Amino acid sequence: MTLRTRKLVGSIVLFTWMVVFALLAMVAIAMLPDRPPVWVEPVLYAFLGIVWIVPLKPLFIWMGRGRDAGASGGT
């Protein structure tokens, strides 16, 4: 698979994951028994905003694989 194809597939997977994770995060927060205090919500959203990227590290590594092999000789 070429680097260009891996980037296309990876971008589609990334976009899909972002939408699914955002929906799951909203559902999880909506299912809390009571609305959390005002100061907890920004902390919770900041935490979720960081956590969504952790499972994608292997995807980013896979998308970038072969980058140096296709590069022409430089300096």
Domains of the chain by residue range = 3-63
Helix 3-30 / helix 57-64 crossing angle, nearest 10 deg: 170
pTM higher than the cut 0.85: no
Segments in 1-75 forming alpha helices (H): 3-30, 40-51, 57-64
At residue 68, the pLDDT reads 61
At residue 17, the pLDDT reads 94
**Short-list 8, 1, 19, 13, CA closest to 56:** 13
Q: What is the pLDDT along the chain (75 residues), one digit of tens a residue?
A: 888 889 999 999 999 999 999 898 888 878 877 877 888 878 888 888 888 888 899 998 888 887 665 555 444
Name the residue with tokens 């022409």.
Answer: 72
